[in-house]
Structure 1
Amino acid sequence: MAISELPADLLADLLSGHRQVLAEHAATGRLPAREALDAYRAAGRRAARLGVPLRTLVDGALAAGEGLPEALPALRRAVSALMEGYERAQLAAIREEEQAWREFVDDLLQGRAERLAERAEHFGLRLAGSYVVAVARGMRDGDQDRIERDLIARFGSHNVLVAVRDGLLVCVAPATLPAAVGEFTHHVRARFPPGWRVAVGRPQRGPGGVVASYGEAAQALELADGLRLKADVVKAADLLVFPVLLRDRGAIEDLVTSVLSPLLEARGGHEPLLETLEAVFASHGNQTAAARRLGLSPRAVTYRLERIRRLTGFSPDDPTQRFTLETAVLGARLLGWPTSPGFGR
């Protein structure tokens, strides 16, 4: 914006008294007093709020000093004070925008729906369609800024939202843009230290859908940890049965206690036997494949399964008993059996 493009008298109003300050300095040699410098800073802040370019403001201040070469020291201080006030106003505006962004993200992920769509548009996001939320655990300082910068550079700020919530790095992307979640996972894999994990919620529609997908992704992380899954990336859609199991905690606790408690009496402890069952279930009943998973001989796996059958009365070779055993093992992992306070030995 050139000086000629400013509204009439705006620049003159911002620099009111400036020519007089310069003239007084030229006549007396006295530099501007503190009150005058404070007025310049206030003018700089006001110019920033009004959207007057800093270059235009400085040009106007310099123009007022033409013909007064002896006023250069005062002019230098005046311009410095104008720029200081301007920069402070810009910094305050940035902080206000950052605060508004943090509040918007918190409201979005918690489902506080007040003017969410309107506020989203302010940040370049459109919430009318379906969105997918991915969360990553294991973030270090600085990871958020780098990943956010890379994703926005590729997909645009109107397509992806990257934020931190409850210690998790969160990525919100349109369901029609699955590459964004893939790219998010790629950057997490490249930057996070060992032990990271990404969980992906199901596509959901609208602002409320963002909340639902985020909740599913966060729960999928907890389930993956409880089940001791080895996968670095888990999908909520693949774990839908587990929230169903946990809805009746009392029934699951009773199943786990009834079926697995005899394993607590096994020599060597219950854990090797649980791990054997998990390996067999993961291998679809193939004991040779389970042995490879465990680093054991097939004979050792057969021996352990026989011990389980003798102790519990359940055998993974029987379809009905296999389902009961597998459900009990999953419940045990999810509920932290046998050390959880809900269980007794």
Structure 2
Amino acid sequence: MTEGGRRPGPAGTGGDDTWLTSVAREASADAAGVPVELLGDYLPLLRDAAVTGRRPRRGELDAVEALGRRAAEQGVSAGRVVQLYLSAARRLWQQLPHLDRSTDSETVRATAEAVLHVVDAAVATLAEGYAAARRDLVRREESLRRDLVDDLLRGDSDLGGLVERAEPFGLDLARVHQVALAAPGRRLPDTGAAISTLERVIFDRLGDRDVLVATKEGLLVVIAPADAVSPGRGPAGGEPAGELGRLMHGELDRLVRGRPWQVAVGRPHPGLYGIARSYEEAREALTTARRLRADTPVIDAHDLLIYRVLLRDQPAMVDLVRAVLTPLGQARGGAGPLLDTLTEYFACGEVATEAAGRLHVSVRTVTYRLGRVRALSGYDPADPRDRFTLHAAVLGARALDWPRRPLPA
């Protein structure tokens, strides 16, 4: 029964439409309170189809499509709005009076066919409008997110405006954040799959608040709170920040396209400008690793601080390499083998046996080469007074890609 016990008048009599209002309210309750306004003129369309067999016009379906868009914009789920329409059709069918009196199966069949046609057309059109609105919302959100990320990484925007724009994305600019950059081995035709992969694993691990995933200049960018990645770490603290990088690389490496991936992670820093600082560190670490021809999957900016110092005064670094290492070019085979030996010797803590294993040569060969370094350069790798100078020069040579490339003038 409907409100007040009233039922629609006989077919064709143009009876009271109050019962449609009751049907709409009941359908709204079935759909967990979806606003009845989202039904629009859907119920009169069903009634007309049941009474006269009339099919919906294009303009009437366009109105339903607009209602689908409105539902998406209001944040109503697609399942609930479809449930509203199906429940409304079911309740209207139950209250059609001429079906109660009809004993003609053909009449019932024709009425059912007309009503189901309206339901089919309306729900399909509703879904199209909903999907179109969701696509528009996603594009708008992606654009807003991309602009926000650009301004955050640049670090020179209005603080108040950024705080307001970051709030809808759940980003608390007062927290300590770190930035990670992922570079594909080859250019990706579509970054959507990589972004979806990263979002899925990072949101699952860190939560979907205070985390942003975007693209910038062909790189995937992740901004994440440092305490969520490594609980207990202080701002700009000494513990390596590579856990986020390992998490990202582990997922990206599963993708067919883009491999091999290289991920660089900046150190965590507090506040708005800390995000820009962490980004610059990550970008510089990625650039430095490429200059060093390092194939390390995850690069921690913390581990490359010495190169930042060296590269900021390139003329002094060139002078150091020229004065200390260019004499090694007089050796048979050039400076390359001696430089490789020094690199591994310093990397393993000045242990000749370990260096020999890394170089796949005998210990005698290592000691011979170290002797040649001492004889040609005048610097003894075993002397603590000379070791620092030699090590700094070796690091500078790697950063300058010497001796493969000539030193800058």
1:75 Cα offset (Å): 4.3
**Aligned residue type for 1:248:** D
**C-alpha distance after superposition, 1:177-206 (max 9, x if no partner):** 343863651452465278554433222111
**CA-to-partner distance for each residue in 1:299-342, whole Å, 9 max, x for gaps?**
21222223333333333233343332222221111122245475
- The 8 Å contact of residues 201 and 214 in structure 1, kept in 2 or not, is answered as yes
CA contact (8 A) 1:125 1:157 kept: no
Give the drift of 1:249.
1.1
Q: Does the 8 A contact of 1:47 with 1:57 survive in 2?
A: no
Q: Would you say the 8 A contact 1:25–1:31 is kept in 2?
A: no
- Report the counterpart of residue 15 of structure 1 in structure 2: 41
Would you say 1:208 and 2:234 are equivalent positions? no
Q: CA deviation at 1:23?
A: 2.3
Answer whether contact 1:151 1:184 (CA < 8 A) is retained.
no
| Alignment-derived partner of residue 146 in structure 1 | 197
Does the CA contact (< 8 Å) of 1:245 and 1:252 recur in 2?
yes
Secondary structure of the residue aligned to 2:381 is coil
Aligned to 1:80: 124
* Residue 171 (str. 1) matches residue 236 (str. 2): no
**Cα pair distance change 1:15/1:91, threshold 3 Å:** farther
Letter in 2 for 1:290: A
1:6 positional shift: 6.6
How far apart, in 2, do the equivalents of 1:84 and 1:198 lie?
Answer: 39
1:240 is paired with a residue whose SS is helix
Q: Distance in 2 between matches of 1:48 and 1:260?
A: 67
Alpha-carbon offset, residue 120 of structure 1: 2.4
Q: Is contact 2:152–2:272 with CA below 8 Å preserved after alignment?
A: yes
* Cα 1:75–1:234 shift into 2, 3 Å: closer
Between the aligned partners of 2:354 and 2:123, the Cα distance in structure 1 is 77
Q: How far does residue 74 in structure 1 lie from its aligned partner after superposition?
A: 3.6
User: Which residue matches 1:91?
Assistant: 135
In structure 2, what is the Cα distance between the partners aligned to 1:290 and 1:100?
52
TM-score normalised to structure 1 length: 0.81
Letter in 1 for 2:224: A
**Residue type of the partner of 2:168?**
H
Question: TM-score, normalised to structure 2's length?
Answer: 0.70
1:93-119 Cα offsets, whole Å, 9 max, x none, are: 233223323332333223253422223
Q: Which residue of structure 2 lines up, in the alignment, with residue 104 of structure 1?
A: 148
Structure-2 change in CA distance of 1:58 and 1:313 (3 Å) = same
Q: CA deviation at 1:19?
A: 1.8
1:258-277 correspondence to structure 2 within 5 Å: 258-277=323-342
* Number of the residue aligned with 2:209: 158
Question: Structure 1 residues 329, 251: closer, same or farther in 2, change over 3 A?
Answer: same
Distance 1:195 1:32, change over 3 A: closer
Seen in structure 2, the aligned counterparts of structure 1 residues 303 and 342 have a Cα distance that, compared at 3 Å, is closer
The one-letter amino acid paired with 1:185 is R
Does the aligned pair in 1 maintain the 2:267–2:301 contact within 8 Å?
Answer: yes
Classify the secondary structure of the residue corresponding to 2:380: coil
After TM superposition, list the pairs within 5 Å mapping 1:290-301 onto structure 2.
290-301=355-366
Amino acid paired to 1:128: A
Q: Which residue of 2 aligns with 1:33?
A: 57
Q: Residues 245 and 263 of structure 2 are in contact (CA less than 8 Å); yes or no, is this contact kept in structure 1?
A: no
Contact 1:15 1:43 in 2 (8 A): no
Change (3 A) 1:225 1:87: closer
Equivalent position of 1:128 in the other structure? 174
Structure 1 gaps of 5+ residues are: none
- Helix, strand or coil: the match of 2:278? helix
- 2:313 equivalent to 1:238: no
User: What secondary structure sits across from 2:325 in the alignment?
Assistant: helix
Report how far residue 274 of structure 1 moved: 0.8
Give the structure 2 partner of residue 278 of structure 1: 343
Give, in whole Å, the separation in 1 of the partners of 2:274 and 2:85.
Answer: 47
Aligned-residue CA RMSD (Å): 3.5
Q: What 5-or-longer segments of structure 2 have no aligned partner?
A: 1-24, 99-110, 232-241
> Structure 1 vs Structure 2: percent identity of aligned residues?
43
Query: How far off is 1:272 after superposition?
Result: 0.9
Three-state SS of the structure 2 residue aligned to 1:325 is: helix
Larger Rg: 2
Q: Does 1:182 align with 2:209?
A: no
Structure 2 matches for 1:244-255, cutoff 5 A?
244-255=309-320
Kept after mapping to 2: 8 A contact 1:287/1:298:
yes
Residue in 1 aligned with 2:165? 119
Aligned to 2:19: none
SS at match of 2:230: helix
Task: After superposition, give the CA deviation of every residue in 1:48-86 in whole Å (9 maximum; x if it has no partner).
Answer: 334565133554466566538363234432343233223
1:129 alignment partner AA:
R
